[in-house]
Chain A
Amino acid sequence: MSETELAKDLGLVSAMTIGIGTMIGAGIFVLPGVAANTAGPVVVVSFVVGGVIAMVNALSVAELGTAMPKAGGGYYYINKALGPLFGSIAGMGDWMGLAFASAFYCIGFGQYLTVFAPLPEVAFLNPNQVGALFAGLAFTAVNYLGAKETGNVQNVIVFVLLAILTAFAFAGFLSFDYATLTGDGGLAPLGTSKILPATALVFVSFLGYAKIATVAEELKNPGRNLPIAIVGSVAIVTVIYAILVTTMLGVVPWPDLSLDAPVAQAAELSFPASIGPIGGVAAGAAAVMTAGALLATASSANASILASARINFAMGRDGIVTNWLNEIHPDYSTPYRSIFLTGALIVVFIAALGQDIEVLAKAASVLHLIVYALMNAALIVFREADVEEYDPDFTVPLYPLTPILGAGLSLGLVAFMDGIEIALSAGFVLAAMLWYFLYARREATEDGVLSEFIREREDALPDQIVSATDAVAPSGSDGPTIMVAVANPRTERALMTLAGALASQAGGRVLATHIVTVPDQTSLAAAAENRDRIDSTSEELLEAAKADVERFDVPVETRTILSHRGLEEVFGAARAHDVDTVVMGYGGTRFVGGRIESAIDELTHDLPCDFLVLDGEEVPTSDVLVPTAGGNSSDLSAEVASALRETIGMDVSLLHVVDEGEEAAGREFLEGWAGDHQLADAELRVETGDVETVIERLSDEYGLVIVGATDRGLLSRIVRDSLAFEVIESLDTPVLLAERPTRRPLRERLFGPR
């Protein structure tokens, strides 16, 4: 899509303010009081340590983000690299982490709100929680309705906040007293051992930078802007935290610093009560700080709710959550269900855990830290697996030290959390794994780069690793989609029976399409005028088709397509609907709609999925013969045969034709092949002679012969009528041709078709 360039409208400043705007709310306005209470003045060091840990991880996020500027951020990279099990953990962890963080920001909002307007206690909720619930509901509603912010509101908010904070820093500098900072017990009255536990607490103030990566697809020039915005925003907030927290603690002795509204308190003491004749300056300053705090926490919560919808979208795309969750509201064009659910989680977290802001802050941090650790592992996997298409514009310095350090620091910091947050987060990780094995494993479509990497080296690695990889591998999509191109009523029944058997065996669905080929001379508009007539024929045909698969009890969809293109349209539809197998009649392949041969060649050399072409009109009822010499397409023959055996009870015979004298080797091959394809109990026939003659001789005994394409381009040769395989035309027995494309290149599976 060349148009995606148009979709990129976030410049460097906007990207930077997304990060800064999300982070600054927590670090400055909410946490300094609580954090100082944990560690004393040395808490400034805790902030700086937090900034360093964030920075190491930020470098990794920047590399991954420039390699894959896709919606979803951390989840997306982890799912691609480590597969859907870790993808589930990362996606759920990111989502829940954002919900915890939003609940935390809302509590911060509530704390400052009570400064302005005294709120009542309601039932078991304290006033802060009441304010937070109000805020949580309001931010959810804003995102649900998708109310338009003016374009640069984020920038304005951040610049206003920076201006307010700069004014505060100046005033604070003037009333700064080193003696106040050191207080009675020196810089570390509670011991330096408190530095890291305090870092664990304040780390939530650094969670914003990864949000820049979740909107990477909207950034202009992401190769340059993404790393600058991510690394820059972490650097800037770290400096701001260090300066402002030091200032606050030099104005208010740390034991006295307000736990609820530290900035308002410090501002009131920093500014003189009056300047000349103007009174109430200090009180005014406190009010401005309070307003700033409300703005900052609101913008943090808002950004987090929006980011969580991105992650849900990315998970839905990969089948980890149902796409129902991500549907767009017809009027507001917002992913309203996803936002509603996130809002509900926020409300629950506020009500259940909001008494203690530390728990919310740390739970958010633990989940994010787990995601960061996995993200660093993902980076290493991408690099080591040597994925050709992994080509980041920005690379972390000192690889592999940086990602290893990032993962180590992230997990190390988790150790400084309290039991309750760790337990809570462990619970969510377990729930995510359970979710994967009970639900997502059946739905997820793609395995990670890591699994590919392991399977390619199956022989060199211990069996346990390989079997563990297989044990967690996704069991594949919502089941495959089997598309049938029905063309005429005579063959419809046989094709639908095949498709039904396949779908029922694999737990998939059937898509019956009727492609009405309109001659080039007739415009589609003119054809559309005949729509009534086409509609009724089409409807009849598709209804019959639907009825024929009913007994297989698989979901069926039908579709009529008007086209000039015939066979090409079959390919198009197969791609558009992400079809796994196309079933069509032999006659249908002849509908090439006046295209030149080279175009057909090109087309058929790049099959979008498995193709089954049936020459015959009868519904196969009796035994099936599968000649095989191994290979890609005969795997498909085996799958079809086993589906027919399982669903309609056909007996399967396997045939391997060898030269005279090689019968023993042939039998050995066939036994092995049968075993590999779950057809061990099929009848095995090893014959000698010319392949075509043997097939011709044996076919009378069978109701269907399934022939796998032995080399590439079988379909192409049928289409061009140059197939030197006269058997098909001469046999009375129906023949099913099976062709499986060579595996799609990794690039396409990883990054989607260009």
Chain B
Amino acid sequence: MTAGSGVDDMDLLARVLLPVANEADARATAIALEPYDPAHVTAVHVVEKGEGVPDKTPVEQSEAVAESAYAAVRTVFPDADDSTAYARDVVAAIIETAEATDATAIAVRPRGGGRLTQLLSGDLTRQLVTDAPLPVIVLPSTEDPT
């Protein structure tokens, strides 16, 4: 369960990239990761861009959501870094950020929601697991607090 491979460079939890969606999701995800005691955490939020059509939400609002998500991560990991990506393809943006930050693994918490939600949101966890060129840690699913 914990990073036990010995060599520092091979430590899965040396630099964990933590994709977060919003405040509640960020808190739940960070709490799910906490017991494994990662050495360093970078939170990433992807602002979904239309790339040709106007966005679903104003950029300013998306950035505010990102900030509150990072703040929630820092209640658990006070010195976590953050990184905001702007892209249409969320999964590709997460992978790109992982490479840019030299992450050792991506930690995801499967989002709840019914089949419809998963279909519409494209089940990010499954896509990440399929596409990522680095280890993806799937955290135990917990309910959002509050």
Contacts and interface: CB of A to CB of B under 8 A. Distances in A.
A binds B: yes
Interface of A: 1, 3-4, 6-7, 9-10, 14, 18, 70-72, 143, 145-149, 151-155, 215, 217-218, 303, 306-307, 309-310, 313-314, 317, 326, 328, 330-335, 523-525, 527-528, 562
A333 B21 contact: yes
Contacts of A330: 21-22, 24-25
Nearest to A155: B52
Nearest to B56: A146
A378 B46 CA distance: 36
B60 A151 contact: no
B54 A334 contact: no
Contacts of A525: 77-79
B18 to A, nearest CB: 15
Nearest to A314: B58
A332 B121 contact: yes
B63 A1 contact: yes
A338 to B, nearest CB: 10
Interface string B42-67: 00000111111111111111110100
Contacts of B50: 9-10, 149, 151, 218
Contacts of A70: 60
A75 to B, nearest CB: 12
Q: Which 9 A-B pairs have the closest CB atoms?
A: A71-B58, A151-B52, A524-B78, A6-B86, A524-B79, A215-B54, A7-B59, A146-B56, A151-B51
23 contacts: A3-B63, A7-B47, A10-B52, A10-B54, A18-B53, A71-B58, A71-B60, A71-B61, A146-B120, A151-B50, A152-B53, A154-B52, A154-B53, A215-B54, A217-B58, A217-B60, A218-B55, A307-B54, A328-B61, A330-B25, A331-B121, A332-B120, A528-B76
Output the residue of A4, A215, A218 with the most chain B CB within 10 A. Answer: A218
Contacts of A146: 56, 120
Interface string B101-138: 00000000001010001001100000000000000000
B84 A14 contact: no
A524 B76 CA distance: 11
A527 B56 contact: no
Contacts of A10: 50, 52, 54
Nearest to B22: A330
A450 to B, nearest CB: 24
B120 A145 contact: yes
Nearest to A529: B37
Nearest to A302: B53
Contacts of B88: 148, 151
Nearest to B46: A333
A330 B65 CA distance: 10
B120 A147 contact: yes
Nearest to B120: A145
B77 A149 contact: no
Contacts of B52: 9-10, 14, 151-155
A143 B50 CA distance: 13
A313 B59 contact: no
Contacts of B21: 330, 333
A543 B22 CA distance: 27
Contact of B78 (A4, A153, A528): A528
Contacts of A314: 58
Contacts, number: 114
Contact of B54 (A306, A313, A335): A306
Output the residue of A7, A317, A334 with the most chain B CB within 10 A. Answer: A7
Contacts of A333: 21, 48, 56-57, 62, 65
Output the residue of B47, B58, B77, B88 with the most chain A CB within 10 A. Answer: B58
A566 to B, nearest CB: 15
Q: Main SS of chain B's interface residues?
A: loop
A331 to B, nearest CB: 5
Contact of A149 (B24, B53, B57): B53
Nearest to A752: B60
Nearest to A154: B53
Given A328-B65, A333-B56, A528-B78, 18 more contacts: A3-B86, A9-B52, A148-B88, A151-B52, A155-B52, A217-B59, A218-B50, A218-B59, A303-B54, A306-B54, A313-B60, A313-B61, A317-B60, A330-B21, A330-B25, A524-B78, A525-B77, A562-B78
Given A10-B50, A528-B78, A4 B58 contact: no
Interface string B22-45: 101100000000000000000000
Contacts of B53: 14, 18, 149, 151-154
A251 to B, nearest CB: 34
Contacts of A18: 53-54
B121 A7 contact: no
Given A331-B111, A331-B113, A525-B78, A9 B51 contact: yes
Contacts of B86: 3, 6-7, 9
Contacts of A523: 79
Given A152-B52, A155-B52, A4 B77 contact: no
Contacts of A155: 52
Interface in B83-99: 84-86, 88
Nearest to B47: A7
B131 to A, nearest CB: 17
Nearest to B121: A331
A143 B120 CA distance: 13
A332 B78 CA distance: 28
B29 to A, nearest CB: 13
Contacts of A307: 54
A303 B56 CA distance: 11
Output the residue of B50, B77, B86 with the most chain A CB within 10 A. Answer: B50
A667 to B, nearest CB: 52
B17 to A, nearest CB: 17
A152 B88 CA distance: 12
Contacts of A145: 120
Contact of A527 (B48, B76, B78): B78
Output the residue of B49, B76, B77 with the most chain A CB within 10 A. Answer: B49
B58 A3 contact: no
Nearest to A152: B52
Contact of A218 (B54, B77, B113, B120): B54
A143 B113 CA distance: 19
A215 B56 CA distance: 11
A155 to B, nearest CB: 6
Contacts of A7: 47, 49, 59, 62-63, 86
Output the residue of A3, A149, A303 with the most chain B CB within 10 A. Answer: A3
Nearest to B34: A528
Contacts of B120: 145-147, 331-332
Contacts of A334: 56-57
Given A10-B52, A153-B52, A528-B78, A335 B61 contact: yes
Output the residue of B25, B86, B113 with the most chain A CB within 10 A. Answer: B86
B101 to A, nearest CB: 15
Nearest to A214: B54
Nearest to A211: B54
Output the residue of B22, B61, B120 with the most chain A CB within 10 A. Answer: B61
A6 B46 CA distance: 11
B117 to A, nearest CB: 5
B43 to A, nearest CB: 14
Contacts of B76: 528
A332 B118 CA distance: 10
A9 B53 CA distance: 9
Contacts of B84: 3
Contacts of A309: 57
A525 B48 CA distance: 31
A151 to B, nearest CB: 4
B74 to A, nearest CB: 8
